[in-house]
A and B are shown apart, each in its own frame.
Chain A
Amino acid sequence: MIYAEFNCHYDLFMYYSSCHGLFISILFFQAYERGLMIAIIPFTSKILEPCQSSIAYRPPNPWTMGILSLLVEIYNLPNLKMNLKFDIEVLFKNLSVDMKDVKPSSLLKDRIRQIEGNPDFSNKDVSASQAPVVAEVSSGVMPTINHVEPQPEINSTSRATSLPNMLSQYAAPLRLPTNNMVEDDKSALIMPEQVSSLGLSQVSPSQTPSLSSSSFSLSQLIAAIPRADIYFRINEKLSSFGSLQYSKIMDMALDKAIKEIIGPVIQRSVTIASRTTKELILKDYAMEADDSAVSRSAHLMVGTLAGSLAHVTSKEPLRVALSSHLRSLIQGITNNTESTEQIMLILVNDNLDLGCALIETVATRKVGLYSLPLY
């Protein structure tokens, strides 16, 4: 029963995967060109391993065999690293398929791959026709060079880095020169932090700077309180900690207001800035051979434009939203409509620019995550 259930779920998974077969092919093409097969091949092996137990997808299923053909083509590439060859051999063995019986595909012939710094290929010439038995013997003869134990470690490393690399693949589908490989990896590693940072920028900055700004506006609130004190002596107790309460109210209102308007503002600003940057950068750098210079200028420009547009277009909507939230929150602690409006206006005028600056920061960071379609 458990086995049958597992098999059913696996078939569903594979069915969905096969509907996106082109997707996996594209994965391989990009991996081949950019030196990322060290991630894709173990990934594919893990997906295909259970095919043996699947009624629908075990060989000679056309979809499965198509991928195996591609793997054979990869296996026969000159100077392919031993760990990748090993992964492919293990997969074929697990599927009980003889590599010789599978006709290799010819999908990679027209594609140009990076050579310098490519982790998928070794510089020294290793014979592809080496027999498995001979390989084992060699491993025994020269343990310091072909030690079997490091291989699991390599696989573990490749699995650990596969996610950032794959994210990098989609976040930056630019074709970068080989000398930027390190920079690209660095960008990939930064990606998760950026995502987290984006989340934080919507929450944390609206609290910390808000408190700071509220502290700044405390003196003005104190100036406003005596008026309320004059009208409502009952509030003498409230006025002693009213400042803190206003800080909390300001914090809550600003957070709600920003969340309310930030979506459309960011989307519009980023869209316009990306379009403008694309047209102008392609024009100005038409003769530029250094892709990193192009990319650097593009990101600097698009961030500045998106941030500026977001700031200027968010001001009025934010004022309206902030006023609305402040009004309802202040009404909760005071019955006087006039003082509510006055307190609200003071809080809005003192903190509106802060809110816009937060949105500008989000826009500038947000646009950095988008891939500019420069090519």
Chain B
Amino acid sequence: MANLQPSLSIPPSFAGASPPSPSPIGGGGVGGGVGQPAKDMKMASAEQLVLDLCDPELRENALLELSKKREIFQDLAPLLWHSFGTVAALLQEIVSIYSALSPPTLSPGASNRVCNALALLQCVASHPETRILFLTAHIPLYLYPFLNTTSKTRPFEYLRLTSLGVIGALVKVDDTEVISFLLQTEIIPLCLRTMEMGSELSKTVATFIVQKILLDDVGLRYICATAERFFAVGSVLANMVVSLAEQPSTRLLKHIIRCYLRLSDNSRACAALQTCLPDMLKDGTFNNCLRDDPTTRRWLQQLLLNVTGAGMGAAPQPGLDHMMGI
């Protein structure tokens, strides 16, 4: 009975994984015996799945399994990058669906498959050891065609969201080298496109990326370098504010306000915001949304103070006096 019980308990813990080979358990404690084989099989599974990525017959299943377990395998990224042919296989998955982008014929199955590959690339983009190597090889550029799509169907929406996730993983660490790469390769217009017409989730990730770019000094200078760039960003943000009034989203509003606040750090942008900052941010339209978010409320107050302060410096106006009176 004691021997039967441990062998029965092994299969449930590896549901969906490769079946464990029966291993005799000696006189050691039952708990210790179960733990060690489990760990070994888990590690073997990760490495075997990475090897399977190079075999076209096994790749789809390997993509699915690795994608599901990428949170468990802490060092998956170095394993993916430094193993033979793995990144090339992921690239092949990406370029093989280019023909389905236009005319838009991407199927849910194909979308899921390539998004699993993108999820693995997101691991590589996140890991400190592999992030710069990932950039040096210009891998993000192969995702830009996905961000350029405009189809509203679910497979395309999922594709864009996952692609943005990879870019988002790159910008999370506030690395100037990353920001410079993204600016040189013109990620901004692609993010603005998604901010204009994406789903709420895609808009949120795209706005987060723009926010991170703005928070970097190089990024702020880049966007405020020309009136064209500033108004391109400003008008998209303004349109998002208008649509938010109808479909509130606290998380998205938070990123929008943070973008505006950062823009007001640039003197010329701050002057321009005096005229083009949406009224809805001034008249209390979003007070209910921000009731439970003191951080964003503080940002908004700082933003209004920055814009108002610059206005006073220029010339007093009746409108401003009226606001101060309140």
Question: Interface majority SS on A: helix, strand, loop or mixed?
Answer: helix
B137 contacts which of A275, A309, A316 (Cβ < 8 Å)? A275
A284 contacts which of B84, B139, B148 (Cβ < 8 Å)? B84
Tell me, yes or no, whether A283 is within 8 Å of chain B by CB: yes
Question: Interface majority SS on B: helix, strand, loop or mixed?
Answer: helix
Which residues of chain B (79-103) have a CB below 8 Å from chain A? 81-82, 84-85, 87-88, 91-92, 95, 98-99, 101-102
Is A275 touching B138 in the complex (CB atoms < 8 A)?
Answer: yes
Known: A275-B138, A276-B138. A312 touches B98 (CB 8 A): yes
Known: A276-B91, A280-B88. A308 touches B137 (CB 8 A): no
A278 CB, min distance to chain B CBs, angstroms: 8
Indicate with 1 or 0, residue by residue over A285-315, a CB within 8 angstroms of chain B CB atoms: 0000000000000000100110011011101
Q: Determine the distance from Cα of A94 to Cα of B95 in the docked complex, in whole angstroms.
A: 62
Tell me, yes or no, whether B142 is within 8 Å of chain A by CB: yes
Complex interface: chain B residues within 8 A of A279 (CB): 133, 136-138
B101 contacts which of A283, A284, A301, A312 (Cβ < 8 Å)? A312
B298 CB, min distance to chain A CBs, angstroms: 43
Size range of the chain A interface in the assembly: 10 to 19
Is A272 touching B91 in the complex (CB atoms < 8 A)?
Answer: no
Is A284 touching B95 in the complex (CB atoms < 8 A)?
Answer: no
A16 CB, min distance to chain B CBs, angstroms: 38
Tell me, yes or no, whether B141 is within 8 Å of chain A by CB: yes
B249 CB, min distance to chain A CBs, angstroms: 30
Number of B residues near A (Cβ < 8 Å) is: 22
B185 CB, min distance to chain A CBs, angstroms: 9
B102 contacts which of A284, A301, A304, A315 (Cβ < 8 Å)? A315
Complex interface: chain A residues within 8 A of B101 (CB): 312
Which residues of chain A (134-166) have a CB below 8 Å from chain B? none
Tell me, yes or no, whether B145 is within 8 Å of chain A by CB: yes
Q: Determine the distance from Cα of A272 to Cα of B88 in the docked complex, in whole angstroms.
A: 14
Complex interface: chain A residues within 8 A of B102 (CB): 312, 315-316
Is A304 touching B139 in the complex (CB atoms < 8 A)?
Answer: no
Is B84 touching A308 in the complex (CB atoms < 8 A)?
Answer: no
Complex interface: chain B residues within 8 A of A301 (CB): 88
Is B99 touching A305 in the complex (CB atoms < 8 A)?
Answer: no
Complex interface: chain B residues within 8 A of A272 (CB): 138, 141-142
Q: Determine the distance from Cα of A316 to Cα of B62 in the docked complex, in whole angstroms.
A: 34
Known: A279-B137, A311-B98. A305 touches B91 (CB 8 A): yes
Complex interface: chain A residues within 8 A of B82 (CB): 283
B95 contacts which of A275, A308, A315, A316 (Cβ < 8 Å)? A308
Complex interface: chain A residues within 8 A of B142 (CB): 272, 276, 305, 309
Is A305 touching B95 in the complex (CB atoms < 8 A)?
Answer: yes
Is B145 touching A313 in the complex (CB atoms < 8 A)?
Answer: yes
Q: Which of B81, B137, B145 has the most CB of A within 10 A?
A: B137
Which residues of chain B (91-150) have a CB below 8 Å from chain A? 91-92, 95, 98-99, 101-102, 133, 136-139, 141-142, 145, 148
Q: Determine the distance from Cα of A305 to Cα of B98 in the docked complex, in whole angstroms.
A: 11
Q: Determine the distance from Cα of A275 to Cα of B145 in the docked complex, in whole angstroms.
A: 18
Complex interface: chain A residues within 8 A of B138 (CB): 272, 275-276, 279
Q: Determine the distance from Cα of A309 to Cα of B84 in the docked complex, in whole angstroms.
A: 23
Which residues of chain A (248-294) have a CB below 8 Å from chain B? 272, 275-276, 279-280, 283-284
A74 CB, min distance to chain B CBs, angstroms: 42
B55 CB, min distance to chain A CBs, angstroms: 16
Known: A284-B84, A284-B85, A284-B88. A311 touches B136 (CB 8 A): no
Complex interface: chain B residues within 8 A of A316 (CB): 102, 148
Complex interface: chain B residues within 8 A of A309 (CB): 95, 98, 141-142, 145
Known: A284-B84, A315-B102. A304 touches B95 (CB 8 A): yes
Q: Determine the distance from Cα of A312 to Cα of B137 in the docked complex, in whole angstroms.
A: 19
Known: A301-B88, A305-B91, A312-B145. A280 touches B137 (CB 8 A): yes
Which residues of chain A (168-211) have a CB below 8 Å from chain B? none
Complex interface: chain A residues within 8 A of B92 (CB): 304
Q: Determine the distance from Cα of A308 to Cα of B146 in the docked complex, in whole angstroms.
A: 13
Is A311 touching B141 in the complex (CB atoms < 8 A)?
Answer: no
Which residue on chain B has the smallest CB distance to residue A273? Answer: B138
Is A308 touching B98 in the complex (CB atoms < 8 A)?
Answer: yes
Q: Determine the distance from Cα of A106 to Cα of B88 in the docked complex, in whole angstroms.
A: 46
Complex interface: chain A residues within 8 A of B139 (CB): 276
Which residues of chain A (316-343) have a CB below 8 Å from chain B? 316
Which residue on chain B has the smallest CB distance to residue A308? Answer: B95
Q: Determine the distance from Cα of A157 to Cα of B138 in the docked complex, in whole angstroms.
A: 46
Q: Report the 4 A-B pairs with minimum CB-CB distance, sorted nearest first.
A: A279-B137, A308-B95, A312-B98, A312-B145
What are 10 A-B pairs with beta-carbon distances under 8 A? A275-B137, A276-B139, A283-B87, A304-B92, A305-B95, A305-B142, A308-B95, A311-B99, A315-B102, A316-B102
Tell me the A residues contacting B by CB distance below 8 Å.
272, 275-276, 279-280, 283-284, 301, 304-305, 308-309, 311-313, 315-316
Beyond A280-B87, A280-B91, A311-B98, list 18 extra A-B contacts (CB 8 Å).
Answer: A272-B138, A275-B137, A276-B137, A276-B138, A279-B136, A280-B88, A280-B137, A283-B81, A284-B84, A305-B95, A305-B142, A309-B141, A309-B142, A311-B99, A312-B102, A312-B145, A315-B102, A316-B148
Tell me the B residues contacting A by CB distance below 8 Å.
81-82, 84-85, 87-88, 91-92, 95, 98-99, 101-102, 133, 136-139, 141-142, 145, 148
